[in-house]
Amino acid sequence: MQGCRGCELYEEATQAVFGQGRKAAELMLVGEQPGDKEDLAGEPFVGPAGRLLDRALEEAGIDRSAAYVTNAVKHFKWKPRGKRRLHQTPRAGEIEACRPWLAAEVEAVKPQAVLAMGATAARSLFGTKVRVTKDRGRQLESPLAPVAAVTIHPSAILRLREHDEREAEFAGFVADLEGVANALQGAAG
């Protein structure tokens, strides 16, 4: 994967960031793309969004070490702003170029539940008809896993300016995680 040249994102990224977790994890969490911290560390969800995800997983009663965590796009897309590298949304061609990598992860892990976090992940996993705002909170039909759903990306919560709004979105995010965990238990039982 480090030698992938399927799109131009590799040119500015430090490295490709592959998923992490148990090979036979029941739950696969798919984010959008690595951020600045992930690009530098070479690991998914180790920055601020990752810390928020960890907190939400804990509140939902989900052990992150038992899950597989990855991103739909494997290279960090960014633009400079002073000394900072600001996230940019991947284009359709960039999402498509990474789809074989994500498909290989799904095939290797064979999860019982897949949760797309954010629009890029939803598009990559479920196509253009699935929308986070429209489909959040309900189970989707998917050949990828018996349980499939979409939710917001943790970074969307971090971008909210109002404390009450952040708390409400965080509670909704935890509820989405709990919904997937409950559906996973139902599918197993």
> CATH number of the domain that 129 lies in?
3.40.470.10
Regarding beta strands 78-81 and 84-87, do their DSSP bridges make them parallel or antiparallel, or are they unpaired? Answer: antiparallel
Q: Alpha-carbon distance 46 to 17, whole Å?
A: 11
Residue 133: its pLDDT value, please?
A: 93
Q: Is residue 2 part of a domain?
A: no
Query: Which residues, in sequence order, are CB contacts of 57 under 8 Å at separation 6+?
Result: 63, 64, 67, 177
How many separate domains does the chain show? 1
Give the largest CA-CA distance in the chain. Answer: 53
Q: Which two tokens stand for residue 136?
A: 């959040």
Q: Is residue 189 part of a domain?
A: no
Per DSSP, what are the bridge partners of residue 31?
A: 71
Regarding beta strands 20-21 and 147-151, do their DSSP bridges make them parallel or antiparallel, or are they unpaired? Answer: unpaired
pLDDT over 90 (residue 78) = no
| Mean pLDDT of all residues in 121-139 | 94
CA-only gyration radius of the chain, Å: 16
Per DSSP, what are the bridge partners of residue 30?
A: 70, 116
Q: Is residue 105 part of a domain?
A: yes
Q: Is residue 1 part of a domain?
A: no
Among residues 183, 20, 57, the alpha carbon closest in space to that of 114 is found at 183
Distance of alpha carbon 75 from the chain centroid: 13
What value does the mean pLDDT of the chain take? Answer: 91
Q: Is residue 113 part of a domain?
A: yes
The identity of residue 104, as a single letter, is: A
How many helices (DSSP H) and strands (DSSP E) are in the chain? 7, 7
pLDDT over 70 (residue 20) = yes
Q: Which two tokens stand for residue 29?
A: 């969490």
| Mean pLDDT of all residues in 3-26 | 79
**Helix-helix angle 163-188:48-60, to 10 degrees:** 50
Q: Is residue 3 part of a domain?
A: no
pLDDT over 90 (residue 163) = yes
Is pTM beyond 0.85? Reply is yes
What domain range includes position 83?
8-184
Q: Is residue 74 part of a domain?
A: yes
